[in-house]
Amino acid sequence: MQTRRLDPSDAGLATAAEILRDGGRVAFPTETVYGLGADARQEAAVAGIYAAKGRPSFNPLIVHLPDLEAAGQVAEVTPLAERLAGAFWPGALTLVLPLRAGAGISPLVTAGLDTVAIRVPAHPVARALLEAFGGPVAAPSANPSGQVSPTRADHVLQGLDGRIEAVLDGGACPVGVESTIVSLIGDAPRLLRPGGVTLEALEAALGQPVPEGGPAGAQPTAPGQLASHYAPEAAVRLNVTEPGAEEIWLGFGPECAGALLSLSETGDLGEAAAALFHALRAVDALAEGRGIAVAPVPEIGLGRAINDRLRRAAAPRD
């Protein structure tokens, strides 16, 4: 299979939408990372996502939609969901909600659960593709499962060239870490994955604390809940202020003058989030048998999402 690289012109978007209608897979940019999209209603198309990524079949996918009205056709949108949607959609927030009966979503998207993860992206190319296609698009990150997420079209092709039909090249993703995932199943909201919308912003919008994590031992209800994920080939060690002789140092902040690369030399968390996956790919390519040592990143704001991805990148692998 030859993977086509499409520009986000009217012609490129029309071609991408036609590929989706025909059951194919198209990688496209969102404000967070590139997603690997397929028609969420076509069983074979969704199976193609799993096949291209080598993704565990028990790990659900996020359904991307153009607006809240379309979301209501897929999920039971609660008053709490409407409040969060009003505050953060379109944007980097995914909500896990009860699946609407008769929604027509493939069970492969929800991993057989009676809940569904949905998002309305803000990136203009993603929104134009959803409009051109006219249906729900299931899309995890456009990379082999467990590896570093892509924030540029080149990253997509490094992992999936020849395994998918096309990639829409919309340039670098501005946020650079995946969406925040909040479950609205049960009595209170729960943060399942930190991401582009900070915990502080969520709690301010809701006027209440948002505890982290789902029930212990529960099957994943949304992406990004596996212990080992976003992993480069090299071993990763975290919170390092003095790297070893056989380690490449990935810095953060002005105290890391000796680092080979830095997430942000000024200590800006937004800059660090946008650079994270590209920097992990870059140091991994340079490692050549050495490990990767990562400087401490504060556990506040976007730092929660950055540290979440780093901990999963450093986790023991099967």
pLDDT for position 189 = 95
- Are residues 166 and 146 in contact, defined by beta-carbon separation less than 8 angstroms? no
Closest C-alpha among 84, 267, 277 to residue 177: 277
pTM of the prediction? 0.86
Longest Cα–Cα distance in the chain: 59
DSSP code of residue 258 = T
Q: Is 35 helix (H, G, I), strand (E, B) or coil?
A: strand
Q: How many Å apart are CA 276 and CA 208, to the nearest integer? A: 30
pLDDT for position 282 = 94
pLDDT for position 112 = 83
pLDDT for position 57 = 66
**Domain locations in the chain as residue ranges:** 4-206, 236-314
Closest C-alpha among 105, 86, 75 to residue 184: 75
3-state secondary structure 38-104: EECCCHHHHHHHHHHHCCCCCCCCEEECCCHHHHHHHECCCHHHHHHHHHHCCCCEEEEEEECCCCC
pLDDT for position 223 = 63
- Are residues 37 and 48 in contact, defined by beta-carbon separation less than 8 angstroms? no
pLDDT for position 220 = 60
Residue pLDDT tens, the chain, 318 long: 999 999 999 999 999 999 999 999 999 999 999 999 999 999 899 989 989 998 766 678 999 999 999 999 999 999 999 999 999 999 999 999 999 999 999 998 998 889 999 999 999 999 999 999 999 999 999 999 889 999 999 999 999 999 999 999 999 999 999 999 999 998 889 999 999 999 999 999 999 999 987 654 455 666 655 555 667 889 999 999 999 999 999 999 999 988 999 999 999 999 999 999 899 999 999 999 999 999 999 999 999 989 988 998 898 876
Q: What is the CATH number of domain 4-206?
A: 3.90.870.10
Q: How many Å apart are CA 198 and CA 286, to the nearest integer? A: 32
For 186, other C-beta atoms within 10 Å of its C-beta total: 9
- Are residues 234 and 292 in contact, defined by beta-carbon separation less than 8 angstroms? yes
pLDDT for position 221 = 64
